[in-house]
Amino acid sequence: MTQQPYKLPLPNSQPESDYYWEKAKAHELWLRKCNECGDAYFYPRDICPNCYSNNVTWIQASGKATLYAYSIVERGPTPPFRDVVPYIAAVVELEEGPRMPTNLVDVPFDEEHIKVGMALQVTFHDVTDEVTLPKFRPVG
Ligand SMILES: [Zn+2]
């Protein structure tokens, strides 16, 4: 199979999230967690969005999640997305609590196979030599 160049938007390097992307490249999912209030949160940033403490750390997520919301995208919003339809835009709720936007993959594109609340597991797509994107697929 020929690998096409990846044309969709890629993350910008930022000090607050570089560690997250470095771990994603190693096929690990890491989250920020607050040492003051105990909340884990996404997206990665140096200040807790719950209590505004900067006493935060990194934790490795289990990679387990449930489907919180999704949409089967049939018409891409901009040219590069038009080349990859259909795809499933999703928000998943991680076992640690935070919700994250992602894609649901390895599932038929119909509502018989996609259920809100279904059990999911992270999977990693190496989209370029430098960038790996965490996506989610059904468990089992
Ligand atoms: Zn906090």
pLDDT digit string, tens, across residues 113-131: 999 999 999 999 999 999 9
**Ligand 1 centroid distance, CA of 98 (Å):** 13
pLDDT of residue 94: 98
Output the furthest CA–CA distance in the chain (Å, rounded).
49
pLDDT for the residue numbered 140 = 74
Distance 17 CA to ligand 1 centre (A): 18
Residue 110: the pLDDT is: 86
Spacing, Cα 46 to ligand 1 middle (Å)? 11
Asked if residues 103 and 90 have their Cβ atoms less than 8 Å apart, the reply is: yes
Domain extents in the chain: 18-138
Identify the pLDDT of residue 1. 45
pTM: 0.92
Q: Does residue 49 contact residue 16 with C-beta atoms inside 8 Å?
A: no
Q: Which residues are within 8 A (CB) of 90 and not within 5 positions of it... i.e. 6 or more apart?
A: 67, 68, 69, 70, 71, 101, 102, 103, 104, 136
How many angstroms separate the CA atoms of 24 and 124, rounded? 7
Residue 4 pLDDT? 67
